[in-house]
């Protein structure tokens, strides 16, 4: 049967999967090896050295490609390795890129610490405004890289509108689709050329691995990415690939529950008297709710909010959590709460944080798969405990 006709649940479990040809094990085997023996001089079975390729990593790439709807995908040791390889593949000294101002902080650091020194520049602009993207384009611009929804305020970019601009200027458009995955957002159908995933998050879904992936319909680009990956030495490891292959089978089911849990929690927070505001694209109050409904196939599992008591209340509430974990990642089974201003976005200039809407009191929730009522009970007691803590003078209303 053609993979193209599968529904997404089937695709996640069966798409791109093959039986191994030794024992027909139902799970593709873990080829935990660095090298492969040549049958004779110049004769091998397609593998030689695991920095170049490995059958288990190939199996993961085929499964990822089936989800993305592309012929192939290229898998990396981390999401940052995927982004770094992409930028080294596409950009040379003198080239320029336009990126979302809410793009993952590691990508900003990559420009600041590495690419800027090599003569490759990036402008980080408000990609929720397509006109700002077009205004930032220079004759040397080769790539537009957007992240939608952005982290942690969930600000969206209109992928179709930006893809029209990119095409008009003959510039490639890449979408970091880590927050939604191909299940909830289809970058290629919206006109993008390249899809980026940190598989660390929803794709693995079990907080067991770190990894990254790039997909495109442009096979010449994919081939070049494999060459640069080999050169940089950042291919995914076989065991991580094997774990990711298992984790991603439940992706559509997990996301369905995570979307429902996130909406339930967002609505509960919105009705809570101690909550100042809530960001969740599924709420009608979210400024880009209509764009989310049109562009996405679900509203995602991430919610952000601020308490009336600001930064001090956020610190107390996070410290009083009993079930949810204080941690920086997202997308796994366990619900995680993050304080962006002291963790994921601590590197950013405080003024820029304010401009991006990342207040010192903002809390991000990655809703996991525990029962939402248990999560709400934990949030409720943590918010109540924060309210009964003595307030610092500067945080009094
Ligand atoms: N892209 C996004 C949207 C992310 O959130 C992250 C990590 O948080 C990355 C890329 C980088 O991925 P990794 O941590 O797997 O290197």
The answer on pLDDT for 164 being more than 90 is yes
User: From the CA of 40, how far away is ligand 1's center (Å)?
Assistant: 42
Active site residue 51: yes
What percent of the chain is modeled with pLDDT above 90? 93
Strands 302-307 and 362-366, by their bridges, are antiparallel
Active site residue 201: yes
CA-closest residue to ligand 1 atom 12? 79
The answer on pLDDT for 1 being more than 80 is no
* Upper half-sphere CA count for residue 329 (Cβ side, 13 Å): 20
Residues 182-186, mean pLDDT to the nearest whole number: 98
* 149: preceding bond cis by omega (within 30 degrees): yes
Q: Residue 210 has what pLDDT? A: 98
The answer on pLDDT for 170 being more than 80 is yes
Q: pTM, whole model, 2 decimals? A: 0.96
Q: Rounded to an integer, what distance in angstroms lies between the CA atom of residue 203 and that of residue 43?
A: 36
Residue to mutate, 81, 107, 200, 208, ligand 1, most ligand atoms under 8 Å from C-beta: 200
Report residues whose beta carbon is within 6 angstroms of any ligand 1 atom.
Answer: 78-80, 104, 106, 147, 151, 176, 178, 198, 200, 210, 212
Q: Residue 393 has what pLDDT? A: 58
Q: Residue 3 has what pLDDT? A: 63
Q: Residue 347 has what pLDDT? A: 85
Q: Rounded to an integer, what distance in angstroms lies between the CA atom of residue 130 and that of residue 150?
A: 15
Task: Give the number of the atom of ligand 1 that is nearest the alpha carbon of residue 328.
Answer: 8
Which one has a higher pLDDT value, 396 or 131? 131
Angle between helices 55-68 and 238-247 (to 10 degrees): 40
Residues 251-264, mean pLDDT to the nearest whole number: 98
Confidence band (pLDDT; 50, 70, 90) for 392? low
In order of their start, the domains of the chain are: 3-249 (3.40.640.10), 251-395 (3.90.1150.10)
Confidence band (pLDDT; 50, 70, 90) for 147? very high
Q: Long-range contacts made by residues 134-142, C-beta under 8 angstroms, separation at least 24?
A: 134/165, 134/169, 136/98, 137/98, 137/165, 137/169, 137/171, 138/96, 140/94, 140/95, 140/96, 141/95, 141/96, 141/97, 141/98, 141/169, 141/171, 142/90, 142/91, 142/95, 142/96, 142/97, 142/171, 142/172
For residue 3, CA distances in Å to 25, 172, 250, 374 come to 20, 27, 17, 38
Could you report the per-residue pLDDT of 197-250, keeping only the tens digit for each? 999 999 999 999 999 999 999 999 999 999 999 999 999 999 999 999 999 999
Catalytic, out of 104, 126, 204, 315:
104
Task: Give the number of the atom of ligand 1 that is nearest the alpha carbon of residue 103.
Answer: 3
């Amino acid at each position: 049967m053609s993979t193209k006709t599968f529904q997404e649940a089937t695709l996640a479990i069966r798409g791109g999967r093959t039986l191994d040809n030794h024992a027909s094990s139902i799970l593709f085997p873990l080829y935990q090896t660095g090298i492969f023996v040549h049958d004779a001089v110049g004769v091998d079975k397609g593998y030689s050295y695991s920095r170049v390729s490995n059958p288990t990593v190939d199996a993961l790439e085929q499964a990822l490609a089936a989800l993305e709807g592309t012929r192939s995908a290229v898998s990396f040791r981390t999401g940052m390795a995927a982004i770094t390889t992409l930028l080294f593949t596409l950009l040379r000294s003198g080239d320029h890129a336009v990126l979302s101002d809410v793009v993952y902080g590691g990508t900003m650091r990559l420009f600041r610490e590495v690419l800027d020194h090599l003569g490759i520049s990036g402008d980080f602009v408000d990609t929720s405004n397509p006109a700002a993207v077009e205004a930032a384009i220079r004759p040397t611009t080769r790539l537009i890289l957007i992240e939608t929804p952005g982290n942690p305020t969930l600000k969206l970019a209109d992928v179709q509108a930006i893809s029209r601009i990119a095409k008009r200027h003959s510039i490639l458009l890449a979408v970091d689709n880590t927050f939604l995955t191909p299940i909830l957002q289809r970058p290629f159908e919206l006109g993008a050329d390249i899809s980026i995933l940190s598989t660390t998050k929803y794709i693995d879904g079990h907080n067991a691995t770190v990894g990254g992936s790039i997909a495109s319909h442009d096979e010449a680009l994919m081939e070049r990415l494999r060459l640069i990956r080999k050169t940089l030495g950042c291919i995914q490891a076989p065991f991580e690939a094997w774990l990711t292959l298992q984790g991603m089978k439940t992706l559509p089911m997990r996301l369905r529950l995570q979307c429902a849990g996130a909406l339930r929690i967002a609505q509960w927070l919105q009705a809570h008297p101690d909550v100042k505001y809530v960001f969740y694209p599924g709420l009608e109050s979210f400024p880009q709710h209509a764009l989310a409904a049109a562009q996405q196939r679900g509203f995602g599992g991430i919610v952000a909010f601020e308490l009336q008591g600001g930064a001090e209340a956020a610190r107390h509430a996070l410290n009083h959590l009993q079930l949810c974990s204080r941690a920086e990642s997202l997308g796994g089974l366990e619900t995680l709460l993050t304080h962006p201003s002291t963790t994921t976005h601590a590197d950013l200039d405080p003024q820029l944080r304010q401009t991006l809407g990342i207040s010192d009191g903002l809390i991000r929730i990655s809703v996991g798969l525990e029962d939402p009522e248990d999560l709400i009970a934990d949030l409720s007691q943590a918010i109540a405990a924060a309210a009964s803590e003595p307030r610092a003078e500067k945080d009094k209303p």
